[in-house]
Structure 1
Amino acid sequence: MADTVQYYMERMLPELEELERKGYFSDVEIKSIIKKRTNQEYAMNRRIVKKIDFLRSIEYEINLEALRKKRKARIVSLDEKKGTTAFSITRRIFLLFKRATNKFRGDLSLWIQYIEFAKSNNAQGVLSAIFVQALQFHPTKPSLWVLAASWEYEENANMAAARLLLQRALRLNPNHPTLWHEYFRLELLYVEKIKLRRRVLGINDDDKATTTTTATDMDIDNDDENDQQQDDSNMIRLPKLTGEDMDNSDSENVDQLKESTTEALKEGTNPILQGLLATIIYKNAIKAHPNDLGFRTTFVDIYRTFSDSEKGCKMVYDSIRQDMSDNAHARAYLATRHLFTKTDTPLEGDDDAKKYISISDPAFVVALKASVDEFNTDVKELCTPLMWQLYVEFLDQWRKVISEENLKLYLTKLLQKTFTACQKQKCLSEALYASWIEYLTDEDQLVNAQVKAKEATKIYSESAPLWIARISLAQREDGDDQPQLALYKIALDKLPSSYDLWATYDDWLHRQSEQNTLDAEEVGDLYMDACQKVTSLLPSVTMATEDRNLIKDLILSSYVRWSGLVGGIQSVRSAYKRVIRNMYPTFEFYKTCLDLENTMGKKDKDGHDSVEFLFEMATRLEDVKEDIYLSHLSYLQSQKKFEKANLVYWKATKEISNKESFDLRYQAITNGKAYNIFSL
């Protein structure tokens, strides 16, 4: 290792001497650089190499180069061409990157940093080699292929190379959607670039008249030509044939030349300029992903970032209609397309606000009517709950956005009509019932909303959202439903494993206590019933599951917190002792109790004994036994109870499986490092 370090350091000496001679760095600074680089070289050449060592060295060299440039700017009299100092540090950075990527070939982020550094230094020759090596080691990373193709197209202006790279990428990764999208975008960018050049040169479909005009015609229409030149003064005009040129040329060849040139220049008949290559890419792409609607709609989004995109978008729409006629989401997308902005200028960004026609635009009403008509056709041809749901979501979305009264009223009436029609077709799903109830509630039709909620819970009796909606409406005085408490009991009997339903019930109990609708004794009894019910979900610790534990933690912890609100710390202790004795509490419950003791029982004379009791009970849990013992020992150390800590440590060593790990962590506590149970 020392020989390798010595080799690298000796290679630096001429460059360092020149840096000192030219005044960039002083003698002391050069010695500091040598010392720093030596340490870095030893780190980078040790037996177990770490990537961070290379990154630190690279960062140091980048900062050093920035300092050299600043000092060079102040010393304007230097002739940089006579030495190699202008590139010595940069060359070392490239060497470090090369060594790092040789050591960590599988680290894609390191290759990306290498590429970005080469780009920032405009090292075009080096970049080509970097991309070749990176793609050899990471042929299945689409981001790298796209980066390489982008560099070839944007920096080298080499469309053929960019196209070839993405074609190779697709051969290796035929099912990756990003590559298809970026290849498609590349071809559209190329066509857009050609179109832009044609506009700068003044070439368009109308130039046919000028290119086929004879010299005699030009003389006759001299005034019109002058007017046209005046109009196109900001364009580069193409040269025209003179009468002498016409006389000296073969008339048949000239006619053929004029005809072929005219046809080639016509944008409307040139297949390449009409996006033929992009169309071919799209058709091949959907063969690789035939049933992915999002994959296809992304092509529309890409098309819409370019000018003259209507024809291409229509091609995508037609393919979706043909291949996905049984897909409700595809039909909804096609119905919504009428509201997309129609513009000849490319859209900037992906902002949804720019995607749709402005509500204030007169064309919006026409487009909305077209979308509604297509949705009405869709729900007739594909009469499924999902199709109706998407139609309802479409109407409700625009109803909430539109502020114009007549249009809002139209959508409101249409939405009610749609719900009724859906019910007649017997397609009301759980989600549609929830949407209908929400709509009626928004329109202050609370009695009707209650009726629908009751109807919904009879059909979908195991739907927590529908029960929650029904219970929330039951508090209305003008309704005829059962009291909320009775409904909660029915719902929880049917859905004892619904976390959302238990969370709603917990909030309701807190509100009843705060509003004094129920006295403290009644709320306490209801909480105890709830605790027993959630415990019955877990008859033993061995039957615990993550979802059920969440419900259990919620109710047991809420009961203890509520006890603290109404009765203080003594009530909290009474509550958690009852729970610990009968209800198999979890680790989260013990954390809640310890938190309450820490906040409410600090000044209480029995506070320390209660905390120790909780720790002793918590150590019965097998999953986190080691962490609880360490937290208990940390607490005893903080209270200067060293004798008790020794007893707890002795007990812990009998129950902990990995005693060596436990001893190391306990040693840190004895050295003053606190161990907090709330950080677990």
Structure 2
Amino acid sequence: MERVQFQQEQMLDELKDLVDKKVFTVAETKQIMKQRSIHEATLVRRVAKKSDFLRYASYEMGLEHLRRKRVERLKIPKTPVTVSDFALVRRQFHIFERALKRFKSDVGLWIEYIQLAKKEGARSLVGRITARALQLHPNVPSLYILAASHELAHLSPSTARTLLQRGIRLNSSNVEMWTEYLKMELGFIESLRRRWDVLGITREGTGDSQNVKNIVSEKDQFTDVDMDEGTTTAGTVKARDAELERLDQEGDEGTAARKQILDGVIVKAVMDSAVQALPRIELFESFNRLITIYPSSPTLRGSLIEHFDALLRSTLPQHPRAIEILYTRLLTSASDVASQASSSSNPSVENLRGRALVEGVRRANEMLISIMSDTQEESVCQVYAQFALGWCQQDSRINLDENLKLYVLSSLQALIHRQKSSSPSLLCAHIKLVTEAAQRGTIEPAKALDTAKRYTSRVPESASVWIARLTAMKALDENIDAVWREARRSVSPKDEHFAHVWTWGISEDMVHDERLRVYEVLLNESVGDSSLQEHLLLGYVAALMVSRSTPISGDDSDQVANKSAKALNLQKLRHMQGRFLNTGKVWQKMFHLEAEENGSAIVLEEIYELWRTANVVEATIAWAEWLLKNGKGKEASVLIVRSKGSVGQKEQEEMETQWVRIMG
């Protein structure tokens, strides 16, 4: 009771102060009291909810925002700080403290509290909150990153470094932690460079890098932070300042250390440690994005990129995404490292012109061929195929020299011939490129077609190679019917593009009846393969419904024709039911297509009867939902009750659950 009375007195003091300053009226303060009483009542329930606390805090935030706006609008003169100037913010903090007593395990609540404290400029409070949060949740990287960013914003890089190192020790497999640590060190170098520029200190000299690495040694840094207070100790700050003063001094030792720092020895050490702890492509991709876009000096960026590429080559020499990073680098810069460092991290041919373009493509091509000589992994072959296609199909963005295209094309052809490669990726790329060359008149069309034929003979089971050959024949106006039949007979059912070969010759611009006829031919050929038949039947059903997509006019003859089309479609479907292996997916698609076209209840009911033999639960729910939406709720309820009597207990429970969801 005494605590409640004290809170009420405090509450009255702050509100009385607001009235005295004419920020709020007496009526408004009464309304504030009423709203607070309502929120307080929700918090004292036996089972309080997190949303109740957040709603209360949000109300107080809105109140504080309104107070500041009114003070600004009314131009209230500044006076010595009174209770109303900080009471509303303090109340927000108090609400979060109460919430965290009940929901200590909620990381999101901790983060919201930290962000509120940062917004209100409570620096020391942010340190204390993050320290408490990290003690409870030491394996949550986002908390370390938030804490470190706060320290950096207040010019305390040593504390930020310590926090991130501690986080890395406990979360060494987290890419984001390592990336933030690297970013922090890049920022530290940039701040030192600007400091020394202002002081007029040069960077020339040589020396041992070990002294520089000691600046961020883990032995020193892991003892910098008092986790109870969230701040650096005075002794650590003095030691850090003394180290910076030593680096500022002129002389061999200071000059050598400055040169090593500006050359990125600290960042390189972080890279080495990260790769040793987490040798994954995701880490390299994250580091690559950071070092290529971070606003560093060209010399530093060039040195870091060179070190990064060396690490990537030694750690993941044959990883496809690693190879892509390396060859992309060559295509976005000139041959020297400094120019390479100043290039964009996102490659585009606009970055290269003339001799630089030719040299970049040559170096990238030679690097890829060198890698290909050591392995014939399909994933690596895909990278080379991507390179070849990407740099021979750039006419829309740059007028790529025809000789350069022929150079890449001949390199690809020589690679296939030399390795006797059966890689579908390389063969498909070569077929596409020779076809485009034939269309441009660079080579004879017969030569392109002969190349495609030889490659399908080399790997007759590959669907992608057959598709490349068929596409080439279509582009060169060749008859594809016989080759398409051969492809369907030859391709392996285990190939992921197997079904695509079967439907390749069916196009949207075909006459409706012709498309249906082709589907029926394919269905007859595919008897015995249930998976392929289902795929073809789904396309067949969609083709049957195309004729329904035209709007119906008011003319009686059109309505009669539409009814006849419905009857014909159902007749064909019944024919399919007896002839082909239909599944629930086929009838499901037919039902939904018919429903989307505002089909009649008679037609939908007949489809439902066919569907329910394959999947009674899905069919019944779909039909009942349609009845409910069309004003036939009673019929839908009867349907559910009747269907539940013909299925097992598990199906009954599933049907009931879905029906309750629809009704709700």
Q: TM-score range by the shorter chain?
A: 0.7 to 0.9
Structure 2 letter corresponding to 1:184: L
The question of whether the paired residues in 2 share the 8 Å contact of 1:332 and 1:387 is answered with no
Partner of 2:211: none
SS at match of 1:651: helix
Say yes or no: does 1:163 pair with 2:154: no
Cα displacement (A) at 1:424: 2.6
The question of whether the paired residues in 2 share the 8 Å contact of 1:464 and 1:495 is answered with no
Say yes or no: does 1:281 pair with 2:270: yes
Partner of 2:129: 130
Q: 1:314 aligns with which of 306, 312, 318?
A: 306
Change (3 A) 1:171 1:646: closer
Partner of 1:228: none
Q: Mapping of 1:469-484 within 5 angstroms?
A: 469-475=468-474, 479=478, 483=482
Partner of 1:36: 35
Say yes or no: does 1:189 pair with 2:182: no
TM-score when normalising by structure 1 = 0.75
The question of whether the paired residues in 2 share the 8 Å contact of 1:447 and 1:478 is answered with no
Change (3 A) 1:630 1:533: farther
Cα displacement (A) at 1:534: 6.3
Partner of 1:66: 65
The question of whether the paired residues in 1 share the 8 Å contact of 2:388 and 2:429 is answered with no
Partner of 2:645: 654
Partner of 1:106: 105
Structure 2 letter corresponding to 1:400: Q
Change (3 A) 1:64 1:446: farther
Partner of 1:409: 403
Partner of 1:433: 427
Partner of 1:541: none
Cα displacement (A) at 1:595: 4.4
Partner of 1:453: 452
Give CA deviations for 1:188-222 in whole Å, capped at 9, x if unaligned: 221211111111222225799xxxxxxxxxxxxxx
Give CA deviations for 1:507-552 in whole Å, capped at 9, x if unaligned: 61654425xxxxx3x65454335446667434xxxxxxxx769726
Q: How many residues align?
A: 596
The question of whether the paired residues in 1 share the 8 Å contact of 2:499 and 2:532 is answered with no
SS at match of 2:260: coil
Task: Find the structure with the greater CA-based Rg.
Answer: 1
Say yes or no: does 1:528 pair with 2:520: yes
SS at match of 1:483: helix
The question of whether the paired residues in 1 share the 8 Å contact of 2:329 and 2:340 is answered with no
The question of whether the paired residues in 1 share the 8 Å contact of 2:331 and 2:360 is answered with yes
Structure 1 letter corresponding to 2:192: I
The question of whether the paired residues in 1 share the 8 Å contact of 2:516 and 2:540 is answered with no
Partner of 2:54: 55
Q: 2:606 aligns with which of 609, 613, 624?
A: 613
* Partner Cα separation in structure 1 for residue 149 and residue 368 of structure 2: 41
Larger deviation, residues 167-176 vs 456-465: 456-465
Cα displacement (A) at 1:33: 1.7
* Partner Cα separation in structure 2 for residue 501 and residue 472 of structure 1: 16
* Partner Cα separation in structure 2 for residue 563 and residue 497 of structure 1: 33
Cα displacement (A) at 1:388: 5.4
Change (3 A) 1:285 1:79: closer
Change (3 A) 1:463 1:32: farther
Q: Mapping of 1:566-605 within 5 angstroms?
A: 568-581=565-578, 583=580, 585-598=582-595
Cα displacement (A) at 1:482: 5.3
Gaps of 5+ in 1: 209-256, 515-519, 539-546, 676-680
Change (3 A) 1:633 1:119: same
The question of whether the paired residues in 2 share the 8 Å contact of 1:437 and 1:452 is answered with yes
SS at match of 1:174: coil
Q: Mapping of 1:292-331 within 5 angstroms?
A: 292-296=280-284, 298-304=286-292, 305=294, 306-307=296-297, 308-309=299-300, 310-325=302-317, 330=322
Say yes or no: does 1:558 pair with 2:542: yes
Larger deviation, residues 179-188 vs 573-582: 573-582
Structure 2 letter corresponding to 1:59: S
Larger deviation, residues 102-111 vs 84-93: 102-111
SS at match of 1:495: coil
* Partner Cα separation in structure 1 for residue 266 and residue 186 of structure 2: 9
The question of whether the paired residues in 1 share the 8 Å contact of 2:185 and 2:266 is answered with yes
Structure 2 letter corresponding to 1:24: V
Cα displacement (A) at 1:140: 1.5
Structure 1 letter corresponding to 2:305: C
* Partner Cα separation in structure 2 for residue 365 and residue 480 of structure 1: 38
The question of whether the paired residues in 1 share the 8 Å contact of 2:13 and 2:83 is answered with no
SS at match of 1:401: coil
Q: Mapping of 1:191-206 within 5 angstroms?
A: 191-205=189-203
Say yes or no: does 1:627 pair with 2:611: no
Give CA deviations for 1:583-629 in whole Å, capped at 9, x if unaligned: 56445444443445446675xxxx33223333344344145256236
Change (3 A) 1:375 1:268: farther
Change (3 A) 1:572 1:176: same
Cα displacement (A) at 1:186: 1.6
* Partner Cα separation in structure 1 for residue 97 and residue 83 of structure 2: 20
Change (3 A) 1:572 1:36: farther
Structure 1 letter corresponding to 2:198: V
Change (3 A) 1:51 1:7: farther
The question of whether the paired residues in 1 share the 8 Å contact of 2:173 and 2:277 is answered with yes
* Partner Cα separation in structure 1 for residue 70 and residue 548 of structure 2: 68
Cα displacement (A) at 1:580: 4.3
Change (3 A) 1:535 1:296: same
* Partner Cα separation in structure 2 for residue 523 and residue 346 of structure 1: 55
* Partner Cα separation in structure 2 for residue 479 and residue 406 of structure 1: 28
SS at match of 2:80: helix
Give CA deviations for 1:471-513 in whole Å, capped at 9, x if unaligned: 3344467658653553464257x43886663586276165442
TM-score when normalising by structure 2 = 0.77
Cα displacement (A) at 1:321: 3.8
The question of whether the paired residues in 2 share the 8 Å contact of 1:434 and 1:466 is answered with yes
**What percent of counterpart residues are identical?**
23
Change (3 A) 1:349 1:131: farther
SS at match of 1:64: helix
* Partner Cα separation in structure 1 for residue 173 and residue 638 of structure 2: 63
SS at match of 1:508: coil
The question of whether the paired residues in 2 share the 8 Å contact of 1:61 and 1:93 is answered with yes
Cα displacement (A) at 1:8: 5.8
The question of whether the paired residues in 2 share the 8 Å contact of 1:619 and 1:629 is answered with no
SS at match of 2:145: helix
Larger deviation, residues 3-12 vs 315-324: 3-12
* Partner Cα separation in structure 2 for residue 163 and residue 428 of structure 1: 51
Change (3 A) 1:94 1:531: farther
Change (3 A) 1:191 1:63: same
Cα displacement (A) at 1:132: 0.8
Gaps of 5+ in 2: 207-245, 550-561
Structure 2 letter corresponding to 1:652: S
* Partner Cα separation in structure 1 for residue 289 and residue 105 of structure 2: 34
* Partner Cα separation in structure 2 for residue 344 and residue 21 of structure 1: 66
Change (3 A) 1:533 1:362: closer
Change (3 A) 1:352 1:81: farther
Give CA deviations for 1:323-344 in whole Å, capped at 9, x if unaligned: 5556576566445534444548
SS at match of 2:173: coil
Cα displacement (A) at 1:57: 1.9
